[in-house]
Amino acid sequence: MALKSLAAAKAAERRLDDRFDREALHDFRVSIRRLRSLLRAYRPQLHGAVRPKERKRLRAIQRATGGGREAEVALEWLTKQHADLAPEQLAGLNWLSALLLERRRKCAEDLDTKVRASFRRTAEKLEDRLAIMRSEQNLLAEQPHVTFARTLGNLTEAHATDLLMNLGQIASLDHAAQLHEARITAKRLRYLLEPIRAYADKAQSVVKRSKRLQDVLGDLNDVHVLMREIDESFEDSMQQKAGRVRESVRRGDIERARREASVSEWAGLVELHDRLDKERRELIGQLRDRWLGGDLDALVARARDLAQHLRTLDHP
């Protein structure tokens, strides 16, 4: 399983060479995330093959690609808003788009010069060690050897309980950090069970429900990220405007200074923030009415039933 995940990550990394492949960065991030999730879930079993240094490097790679992907998602959303903005609001959209485009460019540059090289070195070392599996069993032990089925069953129940704790007992649906943690937990549960869908009928239902919950929480996370971006951009916008006006005045270009002073990005930024807040409220309503209204309990119950079923397959 680990080798298969690693092969998928290597294939996704090679696609980054194609600048016309719009999904390459997303798929590379997902493949790294799936690999990390598997290495995390089966840490005891993979202890000899995966070292702390490799885990840290994979985490660093995941974080390094985050800014570029967030910029891509935000730019896609901004493009959809362009058509129905008022003329005086376009300055804000254009200013924010330019900021995100520069960030995406910088992330792509770092990806080519640093991140991909780090991944290739890490993948080579992991592949060498994962290719050989060592197992040790004490024939005199009272307890029989623990099977994969029981291990997976225990992990499934633990992940389902974590999800219930993270989302079911959330203090406030406005708490972005807690919602983000719940999204990660739903994703880990899904990744854990996807490899066995063909072998356990109940797994497919849990995977599908986890994916639906993950999608809602993912959309909410994207909204929170862009709202935070706009919140932090007001001061930056003011500082840049002051610099442009000051420079025009110093050069004696008063007409340009007047134009700069009369055009503000704020009207557009305020409008965009308001639209995001409306989307946020809709998503929170969906989360509250559907998932906290019963779907979360159903998902956790199905996951626990599956966990019990897997444990019944544990024949010594």
14-46 pLDDT, tens digit each: 999 888 888 888 999 999 999 999 999 999 989
Q: What are phi and psi of 18, to 5 degrees?
A: -90, 105
Q: How far apart are the first and last CA of the chain?
A: 23
Which pLDDT score is estimated for 258? 73
Q: Which tokens in the block code for residue 119?
A: 């991944």
Residue 273 contacts residue 231 (beta carbons within 8 Å): yes
Which pLDDT score is estimated for 35? 96
Residue 77 lies in a domain: no
Residue 139 lies in a domain: no
Q: Which tokens in the block code for residue 101?
A: 């485009």
Mean pLDDT within 41-67: 92
Least confident of 91-100, 191-200, 261-270, 277-286: 261-270
> Are residues 36 and 68 located together in one domain of the fold?
yes
Task: For the chain, give the longest Cα–Cα distance.
Answer: 91
> Are residues 212 and 255 located together in one domain of the fold?
yes
143-159 pLDDT, tens digit each: 667 789 999 999 999 99
Residue 210 lies in a domain: yes
Question: Which residues, 6+ apart, have CB-to-CB distance to 297 below 8 Å?
Answer: 164, 168
Residue 285 lies in a domain: yes
> Are residues 35 and 66 located together in one domain of the fold?
yes
Give the percent of the chain with pLDDT over 70. 95
Least confident of 71-75, 135-139, 242-246, 301-305: 242-246
Which pLDDT score is estimated for 259? 67
Alpha helices in 15-89 (DSSP H): 24-41, 52-81
Query: What range does the domain containing 50 cover?
Result: 2-72+83-130
> Are residues 125 and 152 located together in one domain of the fold?
no
Question: Which residues, 6+ apart, have CB-to-CB distance to 167 below 8 Å?
Answer: 179, 182, 185, 186, 291, 292, 296
DSSP state of 293: I
> Which one, of 267, 173, 270, 172, lies nearest residue 227 by Cα?
270
Quick count: other Cβ atoms within 10 Å of Cβ 45? 16
> Are residues 229 and 154 located together in one domain of the fold?
yes
> Which one, of 49, 44, 45, 53, lies nearest residue 6 by Cα?
49
Q: Does the pLDDT of residue 274 top 70, yes or no?
A: yes
Residue 280 lies in a domain: yes
> Which one, of 70, 67, 75, 76, lies nearest residue 115 by Cα?
67
Which pLDDT score is estimated for 147? 86
> Are residues 164 and 302 located together in one domain of the fold?
yes
> Are residues 152 and 287 located together in one domain of the fold?
yes
> Are residues 19 and 156 located together in one domain of the fold?
no
> Are residues 9 and 46 located together in one domain of the fold?
yes
User: What does the alpha-carbon distance between residue 115 and residue 42 come to, in Å, rounded to a whole number?
Assistant: 25
Q: Does the pLDDT of residue 262 top 70, yes or no?
A: no
Global pTM reads 0.85
Which pLDDT score is estimated for 249? 78
Question: Residue 1: is it exposed, middle or buried by C-beta count within 10 angstroms (0-12/13-18/19+)?
Answer: middle
> Are residues 210 and 267 located together in one domain of the fold?
yes
Domain count, the chain: 2
Residue 141 lies in a domain: no
Residue 247 lies in a domain: yes
Q: How far is CA 196 from the centre of its chain?
A: 23
User: What does the alpha-carbon distance between residue 11 and residue 4 come to, in Å, rounded to a whole number?
Assistant: 11
Residue 212 lies in a domain: yes
Q: Which tokens in the block code for residue 177?
A: 């950090």
Which band of pLDDT confidence, cut at 50, 70 and 90, is reported for residue 316?
low
> Are residues 95 and 179 located together in one domain of the fold?
no
Q: Report helix, strand or coil for 35.
A: helix
> Are residues 157 and 301 located together in one domain of the fold?
yes
Mean pLDDT within 239-266: 73
